[in-house]
A and B are shown apart, each in its own frame.
Chain A
Amino acid sequence: MIAFVIRRLLQAVLVMMAVGFVAFSLFAYVGDPVAIMLGQDFTAESRRLLVHELGLDQPFFVQYVHFLLNAAQGNFGISYRLARPVSELLLERLPATLELSLCAAALALAVGVPLGVYTGLNRESWLSRLLLTVSLVGVSLPTFLIGILLILVFSVVLGWLPSFGRGTTVALGWWTTGFLTESGLRALILPSVTLAMFQMTLIMRLVRSEMLEVLRTDYIKFARARGLSDRAINFGHALKNTLVPVITITGLQLGGIIAFAIVTETVFQWPGMGFLFIQSVSAADIPVMAAYLVLIAFFFVMINLVVDLLYYGVDPRLRIDRAAAAGHGH
């Protein structure tokens, strides 16, 4: 178990270094930060000084290591556009993005899994067919369109829910939350639904096809032959066996949700990291872009790690084989 975790951690570090390299390359190949920072009036001397100050006269590799070391400490430099430390900017917007993403993920799971189980168990019912047809629409409609349609119906026509922003937030230390006020909660609804839609339909279809697969297996037939109740067979035996792939995909989806939040945040003017990223792209604000990239990759890697561990908890075959393999020193 410990060997497994250490191996996965090492892999995670490698992935982060590679992403760091890509993010760092942004500085070298996209735009000229010195020109941007100096503005119109500058002398050759002041330019030389700034280049030296930024360390841009150092060899590429030294600059890269420097960047990594700084990044590891959460130091991503100063935003060109807002002239404030990038880490501060991201930290301010992190709660908005995470709260939105978690709500969307919870919604996608809470709706997607039961619907998947239902449609898997009641393959022929008209409701299953309806759900599958509707889910096809959910998968194929682009997120921004869903967002705009929801705004049109629930904000413009019905006037029930706000169409932009986070509502009133409450500060808990550096974390600002929208969970504690009514306007904050109301503001969460439309963006969460928009962001969850794609994942929800994906999870539903995944759970359904896994259920169908598992229900055909010999051990389910044998469970029936043993006279177990339908409930025990469907939920105790079948659903649990669908969990491994569902956990994997859902975990990866959570990373996807955080990344996809860019579109939803833009549509709903949600003050999160994705919205900040879009604004930074239009202003060629490289430090913010690089930091965002690294942070998103970090989330992906961490989620992957957690998924692997969950996996491990669900499937005894993995557990024992690894333990045995570790015991034999492989």
Chain B
Amino acid sequence: MTMAPDRTKLLEVRNLRVEFPMRRGTLVAVDDVSFDIAPGEVLGVVGESGAGKSMTGAAIIGLLEPPGRIAGGEIRLDGRRIDGLPYEKMRRVRGREIGAIFQDPLTSLNPLYTVGRQLVETILTHLDMSEKAARERALQLLQDVGIPAAERRIDHYPHQFSGGMRQRVVIALALSANPRLIVADEPTTALDVSIQAQIITLIKRLCREHGTAVMLVTHDMGVIAETADRVAVMYAGRIAEIGPVRDVISRARHPYTEGLMGSIPKIGEAGGRLAQIDGAMPRLSAIPKGCAFNPRCAKAFERCRAERPEPLTVDATDVACWLYDPAPAVRR
């Protein structure tokens, strides 16, 4: 089956499946996940810890750690398949076309090299320019991400920067070859609450300026509300609901999303984490039959315990829940 290149889609993820072969059977960390990201679009990805957000991101940048592997589906960038590319080809995609921002800025930078050196090395890896031009670009990037006295700071080592400043450096590194997509995996979780909003605002502004699309993984519904164009809600390795951020927040369709939206405080406040829903997400080794959410779902009915719901389109939202199945015969 071939897909015609679709210019409105920068990234296309189709039926992605990520597995961990274990001694006792195979764990499916990401199961049949499909979504698109348009050029310049910010897709928020939310869900409890262990929902498969990071594994989805790692699969996209081709850095799943063994024994984790892509066991099915396809990932396309600009219509070109990038899952299963040979290592050397994928390396040229990473950093050049897809940048990454990790969770912990304190450990993301090599302690033995100055930030300038790490920037220049990344720039020279992907862009054809002289060392001098690369250094100028590095300096410009540091200024763009709001490092004060960048001319001096460029020759400093990572440990001489605060956590927030280091995350700015990480952002500069992710943007250094002007990629078209950034995968940001909880970029503010490790930071002090007081600077989380600044970092999110910075990512948002820079990506808007450069037309960079973002896959923004976060626990923080407040961040999603203020930053994302669309949002995907993940639960137990699958997408429960995906749609425009306004719709998902104001008219959550999936009972799990409804629970999450219980309260959305302002960005950066301590209470910005996902609201608590009774019970816990199942372990990967013990996902219930039917809808994975059914033991915790107040609206569950018979069919939910027997059949797994596939995504159904309701307005601009795709929702994987039997409540929206138009086939009335099966409804209770």
Chain A residues in contact with chain B, CB under 8 A?
217-219, 221-230, 232, 236-237, 240-241, 314-317, 320
B145 interfacial contact with A, CB 8 Å: no
Name 23 A/B residue pairs within 8 A (Cβ), A-sorted: A218-B102, A218-B108, A219-B109, A222-B109, A225-B94, A226-B122, A226-B176, A227-B91, A227-B92, A227-B95, A227-B177, A228-B91, A228-B121, A228-B122, A228-B125, A230-B91, A232-B125, A236-B121, A237-B113, A315-B111, A316-B111, A316-B114, A320-B160
- B residues 98-117 near A (Cβ < 8 Å) are 99-100, 102, 104, 107-114
CB distance from A164 to the nearest CB of B (A): 46
Chain A residue at smallest Cβ distance from B93: A227
- The CA of A212 and the CA of B315, in the complex, are separated in Å by 51
State whether A316 touches B157 (Cβ < 8 A): yes
Asked if A222 and B108 make an inter-chain contact with CB atoms under 8 angstroms apart, the answer reads yes
Contact B112 A241 (CB under 8 A): yes
Which of A219, A222, A226: most chain B CB closer than 10 A?
A226
Q: Which B residues are CB-close (under 8 A) to A241?
A: 110-112
CB distance from A180 to the nearest CB of B (A): 40
Besides the known contacts A219-B109, A314-B112, A317-B157, 7 further A-B residue pairs in the complex with CB atoms under 8 A apart: A222-B170, A223-B110, A226-B94, A226-B99, A315-B112, A316-B159, A317-B159
Q: Is the CB of A219 within 8 A of B122?
A: no
Complex-state Cα separation, A217 to B106, whole angstroms: 11
Say yes or no: B63 contacts A225, CB within 8 Å.
yes
B61 in the interface (beta carbon within 8 A): yes
- Taking CB atoms, residues of chain A closer than 8 Å to B111 are 219, 241, 315-317
Interface string of B147-170 (1 = CB under 8 A from A): 000000000010110000000001
| Alpha-carbon gap, A317 to B109, bound state (A) | 13
A229 touches B125 (CB 8 A): yes
Complex contact A221–B126 (CB within 8 A): no
Which of chain B's residues have a CB closer than 8 A to the CB of A217?
A: 107
Among B63, B112, B114, B159, find the residue whose CB has the most chain A CB atoms closer than 10 A.
Answer: B112
Pick from A225, A237, A314: contact of B110, CB below 8 A. Answer: A237
B96 within 8 A of A: yes
B173 within 8 Å of A by Cβ?
yes
Q: Is the CB of B108 within 8 A of A232?
A: no
In the complex, what residues of A have CB within 8 A of residue B61's CB?
A: 225
CA distance A229 to B91 in the complex (A): 7
> Given A219-B107, A317-B157, A225 and B95 touching (CB < 8 A)?
yes
CA distance A317 to B61 in the complex (A): 31
Interface of B toward A, CB cutoff 8 Å: 61, 63, 91-96, 99-100, 102, 104, 107-114, 121-122, 125-126, 157, 159-160, 170, 173-174, 176-177
Which 4 A-B residue pairs are closest in the complex by CB-CB distance?
Answer: A227-B95, A225-B100, A218-B107, A227-B94
Give A132 to B99 CA distance when docked, in angstroms.
38
Contact across chains for A224 and B63 when beta carbons are under 8 A apart:
yes
B112 touches A224 (CB 8 A): no
Contact A232 B157 (CB under 8 A): no
Q: How far is B112's CA from A315's CA once the two chains are assembled, in angstroms?
A: 6
Complex CA gap A316/B91 in Å reads 29
A219 touches which one: B99, B110, B176 (CB < 8 A)? B110
Contacts of B95 in A (CB 8 A): 225-228
Closest A residue, CB atoms, query B122: A226
Contact residue among B102, B160, B173 (Cβ-Cβ distance under 8 Å from A221): B102
Cα A317 to Cα B157 in complex, Å, equals: 8
CB of B254, distance to nearest CB on chain A (Å)? 31
Bound Cα distance from A24 to B42, whole angstroms: 77
CA distance A264 to B95 in the complex (A): 53
Q: Determine whether the beta carbon of A222 is less than 8 Å from that of B112.
A: no
- Chain B residues with CB below 8 A from A230, complex form: 91
The CA of A241 and the CA of B107, in the complex, are separated in Å by: 13
For the complex formed, measure the closest distance between the CB of A150 and the CB atoms of chain B, giving whole angstroms: 39
B102 near A222 with CB under 8 A, answer yes
Distance to closest chain A CB from B142 (angstroms): 16
Q: How far is the CA of A261 from the CA of B92 in the complex (A)?
A: 51
CB-CB < 8 A to B104: which residues of A?
218
Question: Which residues of A sit under 8 angstroms from B96, Cβ to Cβ?
Answer: 227
Q: How far is the CB of A173 from chain B (nearest CB, A)?
A: 41
Q: What is the bound-complex CA distance between A78 and B292, given in angstroms?
A: 88
* Candidate in B93, B114, B121 with the most chain A CB atoms within 10 angstroms: B121
**Can you name the residue of chain B whose Cβ is closest to the Cβ of A315?**
B112
What chain A residues lie within 8 Å of B170 (beta carbons)? 222
CB distance from B92 to the nearest CB of A (A): 6
Cβ contacts under 8 Å, B109 to chain A: 219, 222
From A218, which residue of chain B is reached at the shortest CB distance? B107
CB distance from A190 to the nearest CB of B (A): 39
The CA of A6 and the CA of B126, in the complex, are separated in Å by 46
Q: Determine the chain B residues whose CB is within 8 A of the CB of A226 once the complex forms.
A: 94-95, 99-100, 122, 125, 173-174, 176
Q: Are B94 and A320 in contact (CB under 8 A)?
A: no
Assembled-state Cα–Cα distance A217/B92 (Å): 22
Q: Which residues on A sit within 8 Å (CB–CB) of B159?
A: 316-317, 320
Q: Which residues of A contact B93 (CB under 8 A)?
A: 227
In the bound complex, residues from chain B placing their C-beta under 8 Å from that of A237 are 110, 113
A222: chain B residues within 8 A (beta carbon): 100, 102, 108-109, 170, 173
Q: Closest CB-CB distance, A170 to chain B, in whole Å?
A: 43
